[in-house]
C-alpha cells in the first residue's frame, strides 16, 4: 500500500503547488489591470514591486542562512556589473513594458500577445546556441504566429499602442530568459537558487527602469494627489497598501514557480502555464467583459497548439540527453528549500531530473 499512498501524496502535492502558482500568476495579472484603472503610473508601480521583491528575497535569504548555517552567495562588483547587469536591464524592461500596456489593452489581448515570447526565446536560444536547430521549430513558429494573427484580426478591443508595447516586451523577454538561463548555468556565480538570483537582480532592475520612470511619469506623479500632494493621510496609506499587495504578489509568483519546478519539473510548469492561459482568458471574458469572437478563440487554440508542440519537442529531446551542468548543479542540497526538505525524500519524480534543462520554458507562464 506504500506505493499508492506515495503516488496519492505526490499528486496532491503537485495539484496544490499548481493551484498556488495559479493564484499568484492569475492574481497579479488581474490585480495590476484593476490597479491601473485608478492609478495610471505603471512604471512607478513596477519600481515598488522591485523594492518589495528585494526586501522579501533578502529576508528569505536570511532565513535560509539561519536554517542551513551556511552564508549565502554575494557577487563581486565586477561579476555583478558585467554578468548580471544585462539580464537585469532586460528583465526590468520586459516587466515595465508589460505593466505599462495594461493602460491600453485588455487582459485577453495581453495574455495572447505575451504568449508569443516563446518565438523570441527560440530565436535567441538559437543565436546563443542554447537550442539545436530543428525543422519542427518552423511549424511551432507558424502555429503561434498564425494564432496571434487570427486572435487580433478584426478585434473590437484592439489597441495598437498597447499591442506594440506587449510585443516589444515579448521580444525583450526572449533576451531576458535566454540571458537568465545563461546566468543561472554559470556555476562559478552560484546563482542557481532563484532566491539568490532575485536578490541580486532587483537593485540593477530598479536602476535600469528608474530613468524611464523619471522621463515618463516623474513630473506627473510628483504633482498627483495619489501620493505626493495628498491632503489626507488615508488616501496615501491606501495607495501604499495597494502597491505593496502587488509587490507581494510579484514575489509570490516567482516563489511559487520555484516551488513548482523544484518539487516537480519544468515540464509541469510549462503545461500548467498553457492551462493558465485558458483560465485567464475565460476569467477575462466573464469578469472583465473582454469580447472575443469565434475567430479569436480559434486563433488562441492554434497558438496553444504551437506552444504545446514546443513543450512536447523539448520533452522528447531532453529524454535523449545526458545530465547537463544545470542538472548536476540542481541536485546540490544547497538548492533545496529548507521548508520542503523531508527525510527519505529523494525526489521520486524522475521527471525533475529529465526536464531540468527545460527551465527556459518558464517564460511561457510569466506575466
Q: pLDDT by residue (tens digit) across 227-267? A: 777 777 787 888 888 988 988 998 888 788 777 766 776 56
Rounded Cα distance between 332 and 93, Å, is: 32
Mean pLDDT, to the nearest integer, of 60-71? 90
Q: Which residue matches cell numbers 520612470?
A: 213
Q: Which residues contact 341 (CB under 8 A, 6 or more apart)?
A: none
Q: What DSSP letter does each residue of 242-299 carry, written as one string?
A: HHHHHHHHHHHHHHHHHHHHHHT-HHHHHHHHHHHHHHHHHHHHHHS-----HHHHHH
Q: pLDDT by residue (tens digit) across 84-97? A: 999 899 989 999 99
Rounded Cα distance between 228 and 234, Å, is: 13
Rounded Cα distance between 61 and 231, Å, is: 39
Q: Judge contact between 201 and 84, C-beta under 8 A.
A: yes
Q: pLDDT by residue (tens digit) across 265-275? A: 656 666 777 78
Rounded Cα distance between 46 and 39, Å, is: 12
Residue 27: band (very low, low, confident or very high) from pLDDT cuts 50, 70, 90: very high
Is the pLDDT reported for residue 367 higher than 80? no
Q: What DSSP letter does each residue of 77-129 carry, written as one string?
A: HHHIIIIIHHHHHHHHHHHHHHHHHTTTS-HHHHHHHHTTHHHHHHHHHHHTT
Cα dihedral 190, 191, 193, 197 sign: positive
Question: How far, in whole angstroms, is CA 275 from its chain's centroid?
Answer: 15
Is the pLDDT reported for residue 169 higher than 80? yes
Q: Which residues contact 10 (CB under 8 A, 6 or more apart)?
A: 348, 349
Q: pLDDT by residue (tens digit) across 275-303? A: 888 888 888 888 877 777 888 788 888 88
Q: Judge contact between 348 and 5, C-beta under 8 A.
A: no
Q: Whole-model pTM?
A: 0.72
Length of the chain: 367
Least confident of 34-38, 85-89, 94-98, 174-178: 174-178
Rounded Cα distance between 173 and 366, Å, is: 9
What pLDDT is attached to residue 198?
85
Cell of 325: 551542468
Rounded Cα distance between 22 and 25, Å, is: 5
Mean pLDDT, to the nearest integer, of 15-44? 89
**DSSP annotation of 193:** S
Among 7-11, 57-61, 111-115, top mean pLDDT goes to 57-61
Exposed / middle / buried, residue 237 (Cβ in 10 Å: 0-12, 13-18, 19+): exposed
Rounded Cα distance between 102 and 115, Å, is: 16
Identify the residue with better confidence: 359 or 109: 109
Q: pLDDT by residue (tens digit) across 138-159? A: 888 788 888 878 877 666 567 8
**Domain range summary for the chain, segments of one domain joined by +:** 42-220+250-320
End-to-end, the C-alpha distance of the chain in Å comes to 42
CB atoms within 10 A of CB 80: 16
Amino acid at each position: 500500500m506504500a506505493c499508492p499512498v506515495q503516488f496519492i501524496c505526490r499528486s496532491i502535492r503537485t495539484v496544490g503547488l499548481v493551484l498556488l502558482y495559479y493564484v499568484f500568476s492569475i492574481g497579479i495579472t488581474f490585480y495590476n489591470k484593476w490597479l491601473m484603472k485608478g492609478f495610471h503610473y505603471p512604471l512607478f508601480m513596477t519600481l515598488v514591486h522591485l523594492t518589495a521583491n528585494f526586501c522579501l528575497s533578502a529576508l528569505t535569504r536570511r532565513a535560509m542562512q539561519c536554517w542551513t548555517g551556511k552564508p549565502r552567495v554575494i557577487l563581486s562588483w565586477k561579476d555583478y556589473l558585467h554578468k548580471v547587469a544585462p539580464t537585469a536591464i532586460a528583465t526590468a524592461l520586459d516587466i515595465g513594458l508589460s505593466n505599462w500596456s495594461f493602460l491600453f489593452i485588455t487582459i485577453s489581448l495581453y495574455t495572447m500577445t505575451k504568449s508569443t515570447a516563446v518565438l523570441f526565446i527560440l530565436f535567441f536560444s538559437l543565436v546563443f546556441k542554447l537550442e539545436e536547430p530543428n525543422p519542427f521549430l518552423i511549424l511551432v513558429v507558424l502555429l503561434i504566429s498564425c494564432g496571434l494573427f487570427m486572435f487580433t484580426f478584426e478585434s473590437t478591443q484592439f489597441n495598437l499602442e498597447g499591442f506594440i508595447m506587449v510585443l516589444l516586451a515579448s521580444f525583450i523577454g526572449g533576451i531576458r530568459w535566454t540571458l537568465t538561463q545563461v546566468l543561472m548555468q554559470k556555476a562559478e556565480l552560484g546563482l542557481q537558487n532563484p532566491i539568490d538570483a532575485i536578490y541580486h537582480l532587483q537593485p540593477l532592475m530598479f536602476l535600469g527602469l528608474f530613468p524611464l520612470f523619471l522621463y515618463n511619469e516623474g513630473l506627473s506623479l510628483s504633482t498627483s494627489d495619489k501620493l505626493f500632494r495628498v491632503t489626507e493621510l488615508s488616501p496615501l496609506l491606501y495607495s501604499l497598501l495597494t502597491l505593496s499587495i502587488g509587490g507581494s504578489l510579484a514575489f509570490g509568483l516567482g516563489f511559487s514557480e520555484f516551488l513548482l519546478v523544484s518539487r516537480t519539473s519544468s515540464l509541469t510548469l510549462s503545461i500548467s502555464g498553457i492551462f493558465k492561459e485558458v483560465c485567464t482568458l475565460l476569467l477575462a471574458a466573464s469578469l472583465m467583459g473582454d469580447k472575443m469572437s469565434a475567430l479569436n478563440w480559434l486563433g488562441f487554440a492554434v497558438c496553444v497548439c504551437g506552444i504545446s508542440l514546443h513543450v512536447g519537442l523539448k520533452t522528447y529531446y531532453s529524454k535523449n540527453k545526458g545530465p547537463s551542468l544545470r542538472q548536476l548543479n540542481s541536485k546540490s542540497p544547497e538548492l533545496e528549500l529548507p521548508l520542503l526538505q523531508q527525510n527519505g525524500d529523494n525526489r521520486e519524480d524522475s521527471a525533475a531530473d529529465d526536464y531540468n534543462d527545460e527551465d527556459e520554458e518558464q517564460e511561457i507562464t510569466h506575466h
